[in-house]
C-alpha cells in the first residue's frame, strides 16, 4: 500500500529474458554453509592464506602512497597500468605485446567481456564437461546454446569436437589442472586441438588461472603460445599473489582487443589502479621467482597429504580419484549409482564439506563425482576431514547395498 | 600464413550483434589528447587529487594488513563487506537495510548489472537528454531502444514522459548536479516524478555520484528515499574518497536484489575486499563529516573562479552558461549555429580542452553545447584556460559572421 492508498504490485518487475539465467549459485550457497565454524572444508577454491605475501603488500602500499598517491587514487586507463602489463607479458612464454594485454577485475571479468562480445541468444559455444562453474554463469547470461565436448582421458575427443564445431563461436578450455577435475591436457592433445582450431578458424578461449601451480614439471606450453592470433588467453593474479585484489588479465589478438576494451570501459571503466600499482610493486625484481616455488611446494605437499589420506581411509571403498600434477583440486568418483549431492548434507553433519560435481555440468550432470580442494585446509585438517568423508561414504555405501 | 602454409582469415571474428554497439568512446579518445602536457583540461570528470585523503589511506592500509590481512586478501562475499554496507547505509537519508546494499566495482558496474537484468534487445528505456555517457555505453551493449524524455528547465517534462513511458523498463535519472549539465531536479519536480512513477509502476534508476558535492545547501531528498520499493539507487565512493579504489554501490528493493547479486557474481565474483576494508577503515568515526565539507568548499571556490572567469572573458560573446549548485560541471551553450565538436581541435591548439556536448546524446545531439569541469584544474589554470577558450570561441564566432 502506498501513502495515497493504492495497492501496487512492485514485485512483478519486468526483467529481461536473460534474468531467468540468473539463479543463486549452488556453489556459493554451499560455501556459506561450509564457513560455519567446526566444518573442515574441501569445498572452496580458496588459495592458502599462508601464501599471501603480507609483508610485501605492506611495503608496496607504503611505496605507492609515498611516491604515486595521486595517480594511484585517480581514474586511470581502461587498458590497465602499463608497467603491470609489461610485467605480465614477461611471465608468459610467448611474451605478447603488452598492448594486447587488458587488466581485468579478476579473470572472471574476462569471461563476462567475452560473453558480451561473442554470444548472441542461441549462439553455440563449446565447453569441456565438467567445466568451471563461473564460466558457465558468465556465459549463460548471454543465453548461448552450450554444447559439451567429450574428453578421452585428459584430452579432448577431437571427433566429438568435429561433430559440434560448426558455427560455434568459440571453445572454452582450461588446459592446466582443470577446475573441477584437476586434469591437464597433454602435449599431444594440445598440438591436435591447436592445429584443429587453427585450420577451422575456431576461436579458443584458454583459461589458465592455475598454470603456475605445477608440482614437479611445468605443464606443456599453452594453446595461446602455439597460435596467439587464434586464442584469447585469461590469466589471474589471484593464485600467485592474492584473490582479494581482484586482478586478472586477458591477452587478445589485435582483431578482438579493441572491442573487449570497449566492453571493459562500459563494465567498470577500469580495474582499481591502486591495486594494479601495488601488484606491480610487489612483482618487481625477483619476487615471483621466489614466491611461486614456495606456493608450488606447499600445494604439492598438501596434495600428497590428501592422496595419502585417501589411500589410508578409502582403499576399501569403491571410489577412485586422480593424482593431479598441479593446481588445487582432486576429483573423486563414487560408484555411479551413488549421488554426491545427497551425500553432502551427511558429510556436513559429520563436519566435512566438498563440492558435488553436479555444479560443474551444464547438462546431463554426472552425480557421482565430487571436487576436493587440498589447498585451504591444513594437513591435520586434511587427515581428519578425509577420515570423516570416508566414514560418510562408507555409511552411504553400506546403506546402498543393503 | 600459418606454419603449415595455409592462409587464414582470423580477422573476421564472428562477433555477437551487440558488438556493433562497442565503439571507441569519443570521450576516452578526447581524454587521451588532453593528457598531453601543456594542455589545460576542463574535459575529464576527475576529482581534484588534492582532496584524496592519502594519509588516512596509509593508516588504513597499515591497519588492515596488520589486523585482517588474510581476510582482506582472500576471496570474499559477492554482496560486499558487511561493515562497509552498514557505514554506507548510515550516509543515506532513508537508512536502507544494509542487506539491500550491493558493493560494486565503481558505480559504473551498477549500470552494467542493471542493463543485464532489465534490457532485452529492443527494450524501451527512458533517459534524460543529454545524460551520462557511461550509462549510455553500459545500456547500449544490451541493445535497448533508448528514448529521450524532454526537460522543462531543470525538471523532467512529465507530459513528454507520459507520452513515452508505456512498456518502458525503467527511467534513468541523475537528479543532482547532473553529468553533463550540472542541473538539479527541484523538490517539486522530484515529488511529481516520484508520484508519477509510483502510480504507474515505472522503475526509477537513480544515479547519484555527485549528491554530496553541494555548495550552499543540500539538494532535495533523493527519489529513492521517497519510494525505496520503486527505485534502484547508485552511489559512489569515487567523489568522496578516491576513484582509484573503484568502489561504488547500489541499493535495490528485495524483489530485485537477488538477481543483481547473481549478475554481480557472474561479472567479477566480488569487488576487491582489500579496497572495501580500506574504505571502511577510512570512513570510521567522524572522517566523512570533516572530509566532505572540505571537498564541497574547494569545489565551490573552483566553480566560483570559473564563473568569474567566464564573466570576465565571455561577457561580450553570444554564449550562456549555468551556475550549478554543486557537483563538477558547467554546461556552456554556444549560439546554435556553432559546433562545439569542430571547435575542440582549435581549442586544443590554443592549449585548452573540454568535452563537446555531442557525446552525451543518444540521438539528435545538440552540437552547440560543451561541458566544462571545474574541479581538476587549479584556479590559475581556470583563469588561463577560460581566457584561451574565449579566444577560440571569439575567433570561431567572428569567422561565422564574416
What cell does A332 get?
573423486
Tell me the pLDDT tens digit for each residue of B40-49.
999 988 999 9
Q: What is the pLDDT of residue A26?
A: 67
Q: How many angstroms separate the CA of residue B52 from the nearest CA in chain A? A: 7
Which of A2, A71, A141 comes nearest B263 by C-beta?
A: A141
Q: How many angstroms separate the CA of residue B145 from the nearest CA in chain A? A: 13
Alpha carbons A243 and A51: distance in angstroms, whole number: 11
When pLDDT is averaged across residues B59-84 and rounded to a whole number, the result is: 97
Alpha carbons A182 and A184: distance in angstroms, whole number: 7
Q: How many angstroms separate the CA of residue A151 from the nearest CA in chain B? A: 26
Q: What is the pLDDT of residue A63?
A: 98
Q: DSSP characters for A96-136?
A: --GGGEEEESSHHHHHHHHHHHH--TT-EEEEESS--HHHH
CA distances from B121 to A371, B111, B145, B202 (A): 38, 16, 8, 19
Model confidence at A14, in pLDDT bands (50, 70, 90)? confident
Q: Residue A168 in contact with residue A202, Cβ under 8 Å? A: yes
pLDDT of A12 strictly over 60: no
Q: What is the pLDDT of residue B6?
A: 40
When pLDDT is averaged across residues A44-48 and rounded to a whole number, the result is: 91
Model confidence at A8, in pLDDT bands (50, 70, 90)? very low
Q: How many angstroms separate the CA of residue B350 from the nearest CA in chain A? A: 25
- DSSP conformational letter for B182: -
For A:242-271, CB contacts with B below 8 A are 242-246, 253, 255-256, 258-259, 262-263, 265-271
How buried is B55 (Cβ within 10 angstroms: 0-12 exposed, 13-18 middle, 19+ buried)?
Answer: exposed
Q: Number of helices (H) and strands (E), helices first, in chain B?
A: 14, 15
Tell me the pLDDT tens digit for each residue of A217-234.
999 999 999 999 999 999
Asked whether the beta carbons of residue B15 and residue A259 sit closer than 8 angstroms, the reply is yes
Q: Residue B262 in contact with residue A25, Cβ under 8 Å? A: yes
Tell me the pLDDT tens digit for each residue of A159-204.
999 999 999 999 999 999 999 999 999 999 999 999 999 999 999 9
Q: Could you tell me the domains of chain A? A: 17-46+289-401 (3.90.1150.10), 71-286 (3.40.640.10)
Asked whether the beta carbons of residue B75 and residue A274 sit closer than 8 angstroms, the reply is no
Q: What is the ipTM of this complex?
A: 0.95
Q: What is the pLDDT of residue A36?
A: 77
Matching residue, cell 561580450 = B316
Which of A13, A262, A272 comes nearest B246 by C-beta?
A: A272
Tell me the pLDDT tens digit for each residue of B85-142.
999 999 999 999 999 999 999 999 999 999 999 999 999 999 999 999 999 999 999 9
Most confident among A37-41, B46-50, B383-387 (mean pLDDT): B383-387
Asked whether the beta carbons of residue B49 and residue A73 sit closer than 8 angstroms, the reply is yes
Beta-strand runs (E) in B240-350? 248-251, 320-321, 329-333
Peptide bond into A146 cis (omega under 30): no
- DSSP conformational letter for B402: -
Q: What is the pLDDT of residue A1?
A: 35
Asked whether the beta carbons of residue B244 and residue A28 sit closer than 8 angstroms, the reply is no
- DSSP conformational letter for A336: T
- DSSP conformational letter for A241: T
Q: What is the pLDDT of residue A130?
A: 95
Q: What is the pLDDT of residue A364?
A: 87
Model confidence at B364, in pLDDT bands (50, 70, 90)? confident
Contacts of B240 (CB under 8 A, 6+ apart): B212, B288, B291, B292, B295
- Mutation for testing the B interface, residue in A2, A267, A373, A375 having most B CBs under 10 Å: A267
Peptide bond into A130 cis (omega under 30): yes
Model confidence at B149, in pLDDT bands (50, 70, 90)? very high
Q: Say if B99 is an interface residue toward chain A (CB within 8 Å).
A: no
Alpha carbons B354 and B362: distance in angstroms, whole number: 19
Q: What is the pLDDT of residue A366?
A: 92
- DSSP conformational letter for B269: S
Q: Say if B196 is an interface residue toward chain A (CB within 8 Å).
A: no
pLDDT of B383 strictly over 50: yes
For B:335-364, CB contacts with A below 8 A are none
Q: What is the pLDDT of residue A75?
A: 94
Reduced to 3 states (helix: H, G, I; strand: E, B; else coil), residue A145 is strand
What cell does A268 get?
567498470
Contacts of A130 (CB under 8 A, 6+ apart): A180, A181, A357, A360, A361, A365, A366, A369
What is the Cα Rg of chain A in Å? 22
Q: Say if A157 is an interface residue toward chain B (CB within 8 Å).
A: no
pLDDT of A11 strictly over 50: no
Q: What is the pLDDT of residue A382?
A: 98
Model confidence at B25, in pLDDT bands (50, 70, 90)? low
pLDDT of A3 strictly over 60: no
What cell does B150 get?
524532454
Q: Say if A15 is an interface residue toward chain B (CB within 8 Å).
A: yes
Matching residue, cell 561479472 = B267
Mean pLDDT of chain A: 93
When pLDDT is averaged across residues B322-326 and rounded to a whole number, the result is: 97
Mean pLDDT of chain B: 93
When pLDDT is averaged across residues B304-330 and rounded to a whole number, the result is: 97
Alpha carbons A179 and A135: distance in angstroms, whole number: 11
Q: How many residues are there in chain A?
A: 402
When pLDDT is averaged across residues B63-79 and rounded to a whole number, the result is: 96
Alpha carbons A172 and A188: distance in angstroms, whole number: 18
User: How many Cβ contacts (< 8 angstroms) between chains A and B?
Assistant: 271
Matching residue, cell 511529481 = B192
When pLDDT is averaged across residues B61-71 and rounded to a whole number, the result is: 97
When pLDDT is averaged across residues B241-254 and rounded to a whole number, the result is: 97
Tell me the pLDDT tens digit for each residue of B175-200.
999 999 999 999 999 999 999 999 99
Q: Residue B122 in contact with residue B143, Cβ under 8 Å? A: yes
Matching residue, cell 568569474 = B308
Asked whether the beta carbons of residue B74 and residue A244 sit closer than 8 angstroms, the reply is yes
pTM of the model: 0.95
Beta-strand runs (E) in B6-118? 40-41, 101-104
Q: What is the pLDDT of residue A9?
A: 44
Closest CA to A324 of A359, A308, A300: A300
The dihedrals phi and psi of A348, each to the nearest 5 degrees, come to: -65, -35
Q: What is the pLDDT of residue A13?
A: 65
- DSSP conformational letter for B284: S
Q: How many angstroms separate the CA of residue A201 from the nearest CA in chain B? A: 7
Amino acid at each position: 500500500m502506498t501513502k495515497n492508498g493504492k495497492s501496487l504490485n512492485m514485485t512483478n518487475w519486468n526483467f529481461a529474458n536473460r534474468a531467468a539465467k540468473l539463479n543463486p549459485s549452488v556453489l556459493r550457497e554451499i560455501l556459506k554453509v561450509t564457513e560455519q565454524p567446526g566444518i573442515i572444508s574441501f569445498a572452496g577454491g580458496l588459495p592458502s592464506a599462508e601464501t599471501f605475501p603480507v609483508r610485501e603488500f605492506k611495503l608496496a602500499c607504503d611505496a605507492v602512497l609515498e611516491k604515486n598517491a595521486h595517480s594511484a587514487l585517480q581514474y586511470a586507463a581502461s587498458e590497465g597500468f602499463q608497467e603491470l602489463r609489461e610485467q605480465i607479458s614477461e611471465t608468459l612464454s610467448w611474451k605478447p605485446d603488452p598492448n594486447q594485454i587488458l587488466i581485468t577485475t579478476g579473470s572472471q571479468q574476462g569471461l563476462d567481456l567475452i560473453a558480451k562480445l561473442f554470444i548472441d541468444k542461441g549462439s553455440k559455444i563449446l565447453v569441456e564437461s565438467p567445466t568451471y562453474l563461473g564460466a558457465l554463469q558468465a556465459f549463460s547470461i548471454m543465453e548461448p546454446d552450450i554444447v559439451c565436448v567429450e574428453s578421452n582421458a585428459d584430452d579432448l575427443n577431437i571427433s566429438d569436437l568435429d561433430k559440434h564445431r560448426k558455427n560455434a563461436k568459440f571453445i572454452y578450455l582450461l588446459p592446466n589442472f582443470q577446475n573441477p577435475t584437476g586434469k591437464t591436457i597433454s602435449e599431444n592433445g594440445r598440438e591436435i586441438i591447436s592445429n584443429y582450431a587453427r585450420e577451422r578458424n575456431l576461436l579458443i578461449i584458454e583459461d589458465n588461472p592455475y598454470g603456475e601451480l605445477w608440482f614437479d614439471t611445468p605443464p606443456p606450453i599453452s594453446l595461446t603460445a602455439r597460435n596467439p592470433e587464434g586464442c584469447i588467453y585469461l590469466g589471474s593474479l589471484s593464485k600467485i599473489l592474492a584473490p582479494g585484489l581482484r586482478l586478472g588479465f586477458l591477452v587478445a589478438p589485435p582483431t578482438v582487443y579493441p572491442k573487449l576494451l570497449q566492453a571493459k570501459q562500459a563494465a567498470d571503466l577500469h580495474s582499481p589502479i591502486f591495486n594494479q600499482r601495488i601488484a606491480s610493486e610487489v612483482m618487481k625484481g625477483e619476487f615471483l621467482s621466489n614466491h611461486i616455488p614456495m606456493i608450488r611446494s606447499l600445494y604439492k605437499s598438501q596434495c600428497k597429504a590428501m592422496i595419502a589420506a585417501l589411500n589410508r581411509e578409502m582403499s576399501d571403498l569403491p571410489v577412485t580419484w586422480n593424482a593431479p600434477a598441479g593446481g588445487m583440486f582432486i576429483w573423486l568418483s563414487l560408484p555411479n549409482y551413488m549421488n554426491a549431492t545427497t551425500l553432502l548434507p551427511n558429510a556436513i553433519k559429520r563436519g566435512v564439506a566438498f563440492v558435488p560435481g553436479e555444479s560443474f555440468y551444464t547438462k546431463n550432470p554426472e552425480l557421482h563425482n565430487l571436487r576436493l580442494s587440498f589447498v585451504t585446509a591444513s594437513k591435520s585438517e586434511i587427515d581428519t576431514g578425509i577420515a570423516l568423508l570416508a566414514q560418510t561414504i562408507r555409511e552411504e555405501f553400506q546403506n546402498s547395498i543393503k
